[in-house]
Amino acid sequence: MNADLTLALELADLADSISLPRFRADDLHVETKPDMTPVTEADRAVEEALRKRLATDRPDHAVVGEEFGAASGRTRWIIDPIDGTKNYVRGVPVWGALIGLEVDGEIVAGVVSAPALGRRWWAAKGEGAYADGRPISVSKVAGIGDAFLSHASLEGWSEIGRAAQFDALARKVWRTRGFGDFWQHMMVAEGAVDAAVEPSVEVWDIAALKIIVEEAGGRLTDLTGAARVDGGNAVSSNGLLHDDLVAALG
């Protein structure tokens, strides 16, 4: 395991040690950000702690975080301290820390840690993908009609003007479920579902996920099929279904 991935796993341990004790706490402090999404004291505390650790261990690296902004640089750590904050504040255990490492525009390592689920996924370029210490791989389903599709918010497809395309796709596949957030993409990496789609995401929502899906044998792109994390939306799949998914949603 390379040193950067080892550090990312240690950062995940640090994140979990802060977020998990505050989960379902009666005195959890929640605010509403200008974009009308919630943020908790735990979101901010996690990101502050990770930034402090990176300033010590990787002082020449830049950091991009959901709560405290972005810095430019050749090497960037891209952090979502709690992906699924709405779940976190409602007591739903599907939330986690997302930690990705980007070098020259390519994501080369990623960790997703979901302590309330007791699950963790990770990958590094050329080293394979793992869940809880075991290798994982995507499914072999090759036809849209046989596919298990996960999705995020339904209203989001209307907001980007693609509700009709999403509805048509949902009627073609074998099964749909709205698992949402990081979890649906990790289930693609594990082969539990065959594809996952999101109409609206930020770079910190996707960076850590991309390398894990890819190292598991799949693909993660935006809705145009571009292999990027800043496209504003996302499609992950086992790879066999990917072109058909992009065409259907485009």
Domain boundaries in the chain? Answer: 3-127, 144-249
Could you tell me whether strands 38-40 and 175-177 are parallel, antiparallel, or unpaired per DSSP bridges? unpaired
| pLDDT grade for 1, boundaries at 50, 70 and 90 | low
Q: How many CB atoms lie within 10 A of CB 191?
A: 18
Average pLDDT across the chain, whole number: 93
Better pLDDT: 38 or 102: 102
Q: How many CB atoms lie within 10 A of CB 153?
A: 13
Reading across the β-sheet that carries 134-135, which strands appear in turn?
69-70, 62-65, 75-83, 96-103, 106-114, 119-124, 129-131, 134-135
**Angstrom distances, CA of residue 36 to CA of 30, 31, 81, 181:** 12, 9, 18, 18
CATH code, residues 3-127: 3.30.540.10
> Which amino acid is located at 194 in the chain?
D
| pLDDT grade for 39, boundaries at 50, 70 and 90 | confident
| pLDDT grade for 169, boundaries at 50, 70 and 90 | very high
144-249 has the same fold as 3-127: no
Architecture of domain 144-249: 3-Layer(aba) Sandwich (3.40)
Average of pLDDT values for 146-159?
93
